[in-house]
Chain A
Amino acid sequence: MPASCRWAALCVALLAGLLTAAACGDDGEGDGDTLTVFAAASLSSAFGEIGAAFEAEHEDVTVEFNFAGSQALATQLVEGAVADVFASANTTQVERVVAEDLHDGEPVIFARNQLAIIVPSDNPAGVESVNDFGDPDLKLVLAAEDVPVGQYARESLALLAETAEFQEQHPDFGEFNIVSNETNVLQVVTRVRLGEADAGIVYETDVTPDVAEDVRLIPIPDGLNIIAEYPIVALSGGDTGLAGEFIELVLSEEGQEILARWGFRAGETG
């Protein structure tokens, strides 16, 4: 019996260890030490800076970010993920969170964004203007429909297809040649940078200095561009006090200045 007793004890110890590790694991609780922020992928650079500033102003506080497509973040929150702050790239996703009564306070638009068209720096398809999008051989990469920027891009393309100029150039136009639906905007950027896509529609803010080296911007006529509104809201499941302070920083001059530097347009306070 001793051998099998040892074996049983080992199994129990393993299980116990596993459970303990899980319990002591990710502290999404938002206690005094950690602030968990779910933010749209397009906010990675800007919020990274804001997070650092917040940590500098608050001793003993670490800001942890979860950057992903806003639709993914909303899904996680709805399915029970715990966080303190949710910053989304469109109101639709925040509305999902609000519908489940997970919010604390009203969402506030803290920044705005616009779309941008990027092509690889050597422009293999010879794209000169938006009207070239009617070319059936043009490989266009967008974010998937549920991703905010993907939704915006499709709205914009729909507007494009309505313009007289476009219809003149492409009388037999059928559909835009979308070859891939990426799950977040940064992947769209990557496709274009690698030269796999002939063109991609992303946010203005995604064209960072780093990215700008590998791509060219194609201007979007004003009437066709979509203004993306970014709401931010505190979550009831987290440390609402600390969350509120973070949101304050985002909305403050300091925060807005950081966002502006990364290409965002002003939010509601601007």
Chain B
Amino acid sequence: MSDPRLPRPYVEPAGRASRPRGWRRFRAPDSLLWLSTGVLLAFILIPLAAIFLRGIEDQQLIRPLDDPLVQDALALSLVTTAITLALAVALGTPAAYLLARYRFRGKAVVSTLIDLPMVLPPAVAGIALLIAFGRRGVLGPALSGFLGVELPFTMAAVVIAQTFVAMPLYIRSARAGFETIDDDYLQIAATMGLSRLTIFRTITLPLALPALLSGAVLTWARALGEFGATIMFAGNFAGRTQTMPLAIYQSLEGGDLSTAIALSGILIAVSFTVLIIFQVLTCTSPETAR
């Protein structure tokens, strides 16, 4: 039996926050947290819900899925963002690793340059890409002359525009992931005789994986919503360069509100699904030490 002379440990009664006993019992910080979160959720949910409500009202939510315009836009969006994601991961991972673990002259400049497309207005990115890779651009003639390739108005241009604005997001996240890996682990691995590639595959990559995954999701999301650079650089043509955002914009401009709403609803639903799958996957993935 515990000694009654010893001080009793203070134990918080369970469920205190849900059993308020009068105004004064509310710990102000708690209720404030819930309140601001509630306001925030409302701020996000109301516009999204409005889309679905209006769509149901117009009875337009399901039928447009038959519309080839909608199918083209959806397919194009999914294909281009998938390619963009693959490119971002393939090119971005080594760059992120370099930035995370190497010291070199001018590192700050390189890092800032890589971040730049992220903060630029998409239209500016679009103009820049056009002036660089357009037919009359800086590299355009070289591209068409030597490779026979003309980028604007092609699906490749869509991918390039998306990659340009979205890849920095992946690199940021991946870099943070690589940076937080304790040097000790890598040093021990080296002394154990593991080759550098093996160390990367068996130690670095698994430990950085959560950051890489969340970076990938952010990148995919940004690419999916990309509009300004796409329309500037790639143009707008159904089936080839008209991604979902462009299709929505055109429908809206053309007064076809119901198609715009239907497309918006689809975009919201697809995004939500992907994000939720990601959440579930990462919550059930093995716990790392971090």
Contacts and interface: CB of A to CB of B under 8 A. Distances in A.
Query: A and B: direct contact (Cβ < 8 Å)?
Result: yes
Interface of A: 1, 3-4, 7-8, 11, 68-69, 71-72, 74-75, 78-79, 93, 96, 124, 139, 141, 144-147, 178-183, 191, 194-196
Contacts of B88: none
A185 to B, nearest CB: 13
Contacts of A139: 153
Contact of B236 (A69, A144, A146): A144
B134 A194 contact: yes
A4 B250 CA distance: 47
A181 B255 CA distance: 16
Contacts, number: 80
A146 B255 contact: yes
B134 A196 contact: yes
- Nearest first, the 3 closest Cβ-Cβ pairs linking A and B are A146-B254, A180-B235, A4-B28
Contact of A194 (B29, B130, B153, B253): B130
A147 B25 CA distance: 62
A7 B32 CA distance: 9
Interface of B: 28-29, 32, 36, 39, 130, 134-136, 152-153, 231, 235-238, 240-242, 249-250, 252-257
Contact of A183 (B236, B240, B257): B236
10 contacts: A11-B39, A71-B253, A144-B236, A144-B253, A147-B254, A180-B235, A180-B241, A181-B250, A196-B130, A196-B153
A183 B253 contact: yes
A180 B32 contact: no
Given A180-B235, A180-B236, A194-B136, A96 B255 contact: yes
Interface of A is mostly: mixed
A181 B28 CA distance: 56
Contacts of B39: 11
Which of B28, B240, B252, B253 is most buried by chain A, counting CB atoms within 10 A of its CB?
A: B253
A181 B152 contact: no
Contacts of B153: 139, 179-180, 196
A89 to B, nearest CB: 14
B130 A144 contact: no
B30 to A, nearest CB: 10
Contacts of B250: 144, 146, 181, 183
Given A71-B253, A71-B254, A196-B152, A11 B237 contact: no
